[in-house]
Structure 1
Amino acid sequence: MKTAKKSRQAILMISLTVLILITIIIGMGLGPASLSYDRLLPTLLGNGTFPESFVLFDVRLPRIAVTLLAGMALALAGTILQGITRNDLTDPGIIGINSGAGLGIAVFFLFMPIDAGSFAYALPLVGFASALVTAMLIYLFSYSKRYGLQPVRLVLVGVGFSMALSGLMIVLISSADREKVDFIAKWLAGNIWGTDWPFVLALLPWIIIILPFTLYMANRLNILALSEEVGVGIGVQLTRDRIILLVAAVAIAAAAVSVSGGISFVGLMAPHIARSLVGARHQYVLPVASLIGGWLLLLADTIGRNIATADGLPAGIVVAFIGAPYFLYLLLKK
């Protein structure tokens, strides 16, 4: 049985990788600047004209890489959060973690002196610190000494925090410069804005560190996804493990939204799809969900930036068209 699941996981991961590569190839050839598909391979091999090389290597490829990594990170965060809260409706955007990171990024962008050389690398750290404070407050308001962490209360508290922090962000930008207001507005809409190679390098280490760590903690996630009584009965330190994994989820989500904007629902949908394909064990769910999340956001951004409008449609809005009905379906089902 275990061997069959591993084989199924391997086939799924290969299939998802092929799907991602197909979407990347489609995305490289689409856009307002002219770069035909028959010129992709010569340009990739260094035989393209200067305009072709600029469009591919300086415009499209870094955006594709950032989008793919951000989607993987959000899916990973959502999988962890759903495991530690035992709540299928949990998502870093829905329960306020993204808004917490966004508030910190907005304050940093509006009021702190910005060094262009370190800006891309500072944003994930700023977002992490702000999101961690938000997550701890949400956790405290959702925790009961008698019943432990209450999953339904967590969602309600998280939604409240998300709305309050988004409102506070709007208040902050009401007196800011027009250029900075435009940036925060695009962030709130889920517009992929960190589209240069430094943002790829800023996001990549977080995934390289946290994904293997989460796989190492997969058995603990399996236990945390069960009842409190089971965890206590087998001697697991529930509170310690839950906090460690919560910090990991907050870190990876904050790193993602610091370059991708306030995108919700990727972390909600990807774990559900992965569990329906490979079962509930997190050893199988985590890598599959990460690939699904990366592909979902990549597909959403490819569609959004090629819609016939002046600036396209933010990826966050395209994802929301799919994710909001899915969230309502899960809400009614659960």
Structure 2
Amino acid sequence: MGVKSLHSESKQTRRALFVGFILMAICMAVLIFSLNTGTIKLSPMQVLRTLMGLGTTKEATVLFDYRMPRILITMLAGIGLGISGAILQGVFRNPLADPGVVGLNAGSAVGLIVFVSFFKTLEKMSALLIPLFTFCGAMLTALLIGLLSYERGQRLQPARVILVGIAIAAGFSALSLFLSLRLDSETYTFTARWLVGNVWGRDWVHVYALFPWIIGFGVFAQLHAKTLNALALGDDTAVSIGVSLHSKRIWLIIAAVSLSSASVAMAGGIGFIGFVAPHLARRLVGSSHQYVIPISGMLGLVILVMADTAGRSLFLPSLIPAGVLVAAIGAPYFLYLLLAAPNKTN
């Protein structure tokens, strides 16, 4: 039995490495295509030459001042949203859990509106504080969900968490709209475009603000992959094998909130990536979170970069926000799984 288990684990590891290699190749192809896409065309050779410091001043300006920050933001945010969704689905043992569905994105949006109300800008060095405000908004959402989902003498019910999250998301969306109406017209327009997932106008300061959140909490999630595997077995089983259920769940939720709120802070309220990416990851590499977490992050990266690239290249001269394209793909998939779930249980 032990030999069979080791063989199965080795097979899953090889499969995860193969999938990771394929996704890495896709990431590189999408990245090169994205760097070449825009109103000013840059060929792959021009991109490579510019990266090596041999490009013209115009090519360097286009690549380093406009395209690289935007692409890096979409890459990091895609990774953050994918991993956040994988954590939430593992913690709540609910395949429908997603930062947008449970209301974390709506709470982050409130934090962003509060930030804009104080600082009147989303640019320059003050942008380093944006993730802190969105984190506070998302944590308030998570706290409310926990309080309203908890029943004394009973454990947290995953289905109840989703329903409460949907209700709180509606309330926070209404609050965001109310607060945004108090902004001046120019700030309101810019903020509305930001929140819908329009990544245009990002600068290197936004990359610096997002990078430590994604890397730090992404590594934290990977280190706690075995805890998520234990939680997937059920609370009683997790406790019986020595998992500190309450504290581990809280820290994992904080990690999910941090990843999603930081991503929303810099890429806008992009939904469904945290839902779709973990589903696809489990189909590709199985249910072990040692593999689901990194593959979810890579899938989130590919989905968001492809959506942003398509939005600014396929519909010229109009630009379609990445959040709109992701929702156009993610919403039907969400409905499909929602309708297919009862059939699987019967």
TM-score (norm 1): 0.95
Match of 2:4 in 1: none
1:70-219 equivalent positions in 2, closer than 5 A: 70-112=77-119, 117-193=124-200, 195-219=202-226
Compared with structure 1, are the counterparts of its residues 160 and 310 closer, same or farther at alpha carbon in structure 2 (3 Å cutoff)?
farther
Q: What is the aligned counterpart of 1:229 among 233, 236, 243?
A: 236
Cα separation, 1, equivalents of 2:312 and 2:242: 50
Deviation at 1:233, TM superposition (A): 2.8
Report Cα offsets for 1:49-87 as digits up to 9, x if no partner: 211111111111111111011000000100000000011
What is the SS of the residue equivalent to 1:130? Answer: helix
Match of 2:21 in 1: 14
The question of whether the paired residues in 2 share the 8 Å contact of 1:78 and 1:92 is answered with yes
The question of whether the paired residues in 1 share the 8 Å contact of 2:195 and 2:269 is answered with yes
Deviation at 1:44, TM superposition (A): 2.0
The number of aligned residues is 334
Unaligned runs of 5+ in 2: 1-7, 342-346
Deviation at 1:147, TM superposition (A): 3.5
What is the SS of the residue equivalent to 1:144? Answer: coil
Match of 2:287 in 1: 280
Deviation at 1:115, TM superposition (A): 9.3
Compared with structure 1, are the counterparts of its residues 298 and 238 closer, same or farther at alpha carbon in structure 2 (3 Å cutoff)?
same
Cα separation, 1, equivalents of 2:191 and 2:214: 25
What amino acid sits opposite 1:207 in the alignment? Answer: I
Deviation at 1:16, TM superposition (A): 0.7
Cα separation, 2, equivalents of 1:174 and 1:40: 42
What amino acid sits opposite 1:22 in the alignment? Answer: A
Unaligned runs of 5+ in 1: none
What's the Cα RMSD here? 1.7
Match of 1:323 in 2: 330
Counting aligned pairs with the same residue, the percent is: 44
1:56-67 equivalent positions in 2, closer than 5 A: 56-67=63-74
Deviation at 1:118, TM superposition (A): 2.7
TM-score (norm 2): 0.92
Cα separation, 2, equivalents of 1:262 and 1:53: 30
Match of 2:319 in 1: 312
The question of whether the paired residues in 2 share the 8 Å contact of 1:82 and 1:88 is answered with yes
